[in-house]
Structure 1
Amino acid sequence: MISDEQDNDSIESEYEALLSFMYLSPVGLVRTDPYGKIDMLNPMATQLLMPLVKSLGLENLFETLASVAPELRNLVTSFRESCGSICVNHRVHVSSAADGGIVLSCTIVKVNDEVLITVLTDVSCQVATERRLRQTDSWLDAIYTIVNDFAVLGLTKQGVINSWSPSAERLTGYTESEAIGGTLRRFCSFTDLDVDVLDEHLTFAREEGWYSRDYLCQHKSGYDFFAQAMIAVLREEDDEFSGYTAVFRDVTERKVSSDNLANLLTKDHLTGAVNRAHFFNLAEKEFARANRYQHSISIIMLDADHFKHVNDSWGHPIGDEVLKSIVKIAEGVLRAGDTIARFGGEEFVVMLPKINSVEALVIAERLRSSIETSSVDAGGEKIKITVSIGVASMNDSRSTLKQLLTSADSALYHAKSKGRNCVVDIDDF
């Protein structure tokens, strides 16, 4: 027979083995209650979360991740099963590619009504590899899937059309005589904000050997369609650059379906604003364009005033309506080429391409006043909304996204300290 003492020794041995596993595990392991309060975590979890730890310390997992993954708390609270996987390999973008590209994979398992286990893994290298593969796949897709609905044309070094195939006429409706001597703007639709974007794409192709993307196009008869394009560099026998070959194909049906998927991947599920990860992707492109063409970029950081009081007084559903209202109002104030993103919790960031500090202050004040005059219905009671805003614009000392975000955040802090519901420019103090 096995004695009680042997049973206790066995249990103690298993417990020590479990602790050893947690301590030596190559992934981050965190045990919390349903509200995110941490009661156990291993060294790897501490290492992965440390870049996000603020003054409050590493006490609550959801609060630690709120600035980069505010949706996790909602995922947990909306999970109604008694146990099971709440999310699996949910990606958390801790920093942009320009700042190191740290990405964590997050899996949350509900053990019971009192315990959650979260597994964190650094997948930064995997994400970077996937990004490179997507670029390669885009090129291969443009080669292997061109069957019938395609167009081939040639461009000079300056991007002027110098050859035009019958397939190009079928796709666009323009004859060779109408197309030769023009540019891709003949049938590719660009906004006023994208006046330099075609030159930028040709530059990318020249530097990398090829460039691929989708364009909104307009047939000569007037209807719109989406075309996938691959622009490849032409070289002479002596490797001298001589122009480009462009291949277009109609992908309208696929584009509609992929846009629906893109919205799921790039938009904040609650407000419809751009999510944090996609904001960094867009910002990288805008800053590359700004540096190439010496354009300005301004950043607005805004925070809903007294948002905790709203949640505490009227409940989280009304708080959600406040956040959605802020985004809706902002979209009515901003231009088509501007971007508003939910940065975390009740904080939003707005990117204004080709806008200097004077213009940014005008837009920020218009945004603040528009929100101030609005309200949200809370069961018959009107809740007034205000926001605090910080503004920063590019200059010689603020030329990177990180510097602009830091400056705008500092200006936002001063706006709050001045009493909230105001706009502060980083250059004013």
Structure 2
Amino acid sequence: MEPHPASASRSPAQSPALAPIDVAVIGAGAAGMIAALAFAAEGFDVTLIGPPRRRDARATALMDGSVHALEALGVWPRLQGVGASRKVSPLRVMRLVDDTGRLWRAPEVSFEAGELGLPAFAWNVENEALLQALEAGIAAVPRITRVKASVATVTDEPDAARLVLDDGRTLAAALVAAADGRNSPCRAAAGIGLHTRDYPQVAITATLSHDRPHRDVSTEFHTPTGPFTLVPLPGNRASIVCVVAPKDAEVLSALDDAAFSREMERRAHSLLGKMRLDGPRGAFPLVAGTAERFAAGRIFLMGEAAHILPPIGAQGLNLGIRDAATLAELAGDARRAGRDPAGSDIADAYERRRRMDVGSRSLAVDLFNRSLLTGFLPIQGARGLGLWALGRSATLRRLAMREGVGPGRDVPRLMRAPAAELASDANNVA
């Protein structure tokens, strides 16, 4: 959702009563659409508000719990398909290669999903395919109303939040789920601050075709400016995330398609053979941020409105899906118990359940990224020693892999229950 000026106030006496809808989800990106489906699965009537989206050329790795959620909500079959219709590619092996060229270099380490008894660590999907599948899922659920507009103002009142849209319409909602992006107008309207950290890096993203098969292996080269990652996609194609210094990003962005493809092949050490650009490129300055609170009044933050992570470790959208599943679960349980689904007890529970997960993963990504950038030899040595230990110890390796796939505790029902059971429940609700 594009940023718009927004304001919040508490002045119910000045506002004529509006019949409130159950839930307004602000932001129609992936996190917002998944939130809308999750609330509908809990029996809420949902209005999904956001302007028409732009094309997204990036790709996402969906972890095991996120796949369970998409299965439950009826979206996964639209992506899984068979043969040429398959939109997802499994990530079965993660290979880490030290390409820093420094004195103390870490040993190469490979992680295999089979060690955890999983078919894959994650399933890689191009964002455009994911968004199209989610849009089809939204259209198939009668409980969800799609409004193509932006929110101009938000007024947080005792019994409902009042939303004024940029097309002149006014709505009231018992609960506002704000998935309106890193520049969230709803977060600003709620008076919630954002703690941010800027990194001296830019992520260059693109999809490339290649001559050699990737064999479901994701290779991450660790360089002095950040990771260079090859993420397997269906067919002989890979999504790349190339983290570089800003001046290097300018040089890469200025290359024509053929020269850019050759440079990516060089950085990949021709691991996948000849590479050719297969779609638009993107460039994103790296920044991290966490909201001071995840809720205020009837406004609840999720996705990048609540937390911003660099595209390292595939944590961003997976955290947003856990936000959506957790909030929908808390609100649904409260309403079934006759309580306010947006009451202060729900805000406290949501804060408690999401803060540790977001904080621990933000810290892990930050420490890993800084360990690549530093020239301090003891830190380089500690990083190398840690990777050496992971390569030698199956126990440590499994612990690291399990934590990377997703949290082992306090997992919302939508993401932990058997997929077949959840899918049946979701279809019954719809």
Shorter-chain TM-score range: under 0.3
TM-score for the superposition, normalised by structure 1: 0.24
Work out which of the two has the higher radius of gyration on C-alpha atoms and give 1 or 2. 1
Q: TM-score, normalised by structure 2?
A: 0.24
Query: Relative CO higher for 1 or 2, CA cutoff 8 Å, sep ≥ 6?
Result: 2
Q: Which has the higher helix share?
A: 1
